[in-house]
Amino acid sequence: MQVARLYDFGDIRVEASARPEPGPNELLVRVRACGICSGDIMPWYIRRKAPLVLGHEPVGVVEQAGAAVRDFRPGQRVFVHHHAPCFQCAACRRGEYVQCATWRATNLNPGGMAEYFLVAAPNLADTLKLPDDLGDLDGVLIEPAACVVKSIRRSGLRPGESILIIGLGIMGMMHVKIARSLGAGTIIGADLFAQRAARARELGADFGLVVSGDDLAEQVRGVTGGAMADVVIVGPGTSRVIASGIAAAGKGATVVQFTATPPDDELLVKPHDLYFNETRLVPSYSCGPDDTREALDLVRRGVISARELVTHQFPLARINEAFAQAQKPESLKVVVTF
């Protein structure tokens, strides 16, 4: 079979690999489509994993089911989450699935950007059957949408509250859509690019701010009448943007760090201000099985839609071009088909 293997940032090679054979408690899935994650275009993040077969947002068809598998059969279309928890450990009992050792150890073999991949027994716990009326491209959005579901849940957003979403790529746009569906009050999108800010307004944001320099807090002050934002979602993974998100947060607000920062990046904030403003800084890393199921429901109901969010689609043979397209500021979501 063919796979897309990354050796370095921007060095992705389509090459031959042995097709995995499923064991008695495993599935072999033939891939139909797979998304490129925003993490896949962060050089520091992806380089530490190389070499690897890209892809953890796959939709496919069950090709083979192991003899002991009861819930899936060949021919079924599925979404497969690349991580799944044990449901037994202390972290799982608290609902902190991403801290589970099993969750962190599980993965797709060899990855979603291959003609076939293996689903190990633990991952069956977060493998979802897709309804016939849900397209492959919509299915690809389940995992990224689940990350947004978790982010907003951890933010504690309540109906009527204002939310500032910094960074309006695919994940920022999904925050806009899902926050609106949950009854958010004023939704403010912010980005460096005017076309993204305009698109956020088309998707439901009340304001689309174009950030220049350090003027974000003042712009938020202006559109909120001085109240600032009740919830801030910080998409870009830098301490500088996190600090600007804290500066744009209102009293008693929650600021969510949505993306990992480089290991050597340090956040300089004044604990004095955090304390008296009671500002909560909350990380939100990936998602768990509760989130993927809620995301599937959002996709089925059309809250999250490939028609609105998928802007580039390429066959596997053009993976390098797709990777380059994903870095363009106007692009939202790139999907590779097979």
- The DSSP string of 257-303 is E-S---TT------HHHHHHHT-EEEE--S--HHHHHHHHHHHHTTS
Report all structural domains of the chain as residue ranges with CATH numbers, in order of start.
2-141+305-337 (3.90.180.10), 146-283 (3.40.50.720)
Candidates 111, 123, 124, 133; CA nearest to 58 is: 111
At position 291, the amino acid (one-letter code) is D
Candidates 41, 38, 94; CA nearest to 258 is: 38
174-186 per-position pLDDT tens digit:
999 999 999 999 9
Using CA atoms, how far residue 243 sits from 221, 257, 307, in Å, is 16, 10, 34
Distance between CA atoms of 326 and 54, rounded to whole angstroms? 14
Q: Is 38 exposed, middle or buried (0-12, 13-18, 19+ CB in 10 A)?
A: buried
50-80 per-position pLDDT tens digit:
899 989 999 999 999 999 999 999 999 999 9
The pLDDT of residue 330 is above 70: no
Summarize the confidence of residues 273-300 as an average pLDDT: 97
Non-local CB neighbours of 65 within 8 Å, separated by 6+ positions: 22, 27, 28, 72, 73, 74
pTM of the model: 0.95
The residue assigned the tokens 């097979």 is: 338
Provide the pLDDT confidence category of residue 329 given band limits of 50, 70 and 90: low
Q: What percent of the chain has pLDDT over 70?
A: 98
The pLDDT of residue 27 is above 80: yes
Q: Which of 81-85, 129-133, 144-148, 313-317 has the lowest mean pLDDT?
A: 313-317
